[in-house]
Amino acid sequence: MKAQEPCLTDLSVELLERMAGTLRVLAHPQRLRIVEILEAETEAPVHEIVARLGLPQAAISQHLNHMRRAGLLKARRRGKEVWYGIAEPSSLIILDCIRKKQGRAPA
């Protein structure tokens, strides 16, 4: 059997490091679900995300803050509510790759 040649591309080390960071943040099922919700809704308030996931608000808030600090989400205030949306499109691409792996086309 012939040894497989290494895959050499022109991807920069900086890009690969940034994407590895994105993957680390998204390597949690609830964070991927948050991306799914925000993909469908474009933006959503915290209470809606909490209701859809059925988890305590404190846990969801921690996930949202972690994703926001990593630059994956954007947040804005609307009155007393904080609304979240996707800030980094690569998270949607990663979600799409997961769907393709499962044989599901994006909605």
In this structure, how many other beta carbons lie within 10 angstroms of the beta carbon of residue 15?
A: 10
Q: Whole-prediction pTM value?
A: 0.81
Domains and CATH numbers, the chain: 15-101 (1.10.10.10)
SS3 category, 57: helix
N residues, the chain: 107
8 Å CB contact between 73 and 87 = yes
pLDDT tens-digit profile of 23-39?
Answer: 999 999 999 999 999 99
Percent of the chain with pLDDT over 90: 58
Higher-confidence position of 6 and 65: 65
Please give the distance of CA 54 from its chain centroid, rounded to a whole number: 18
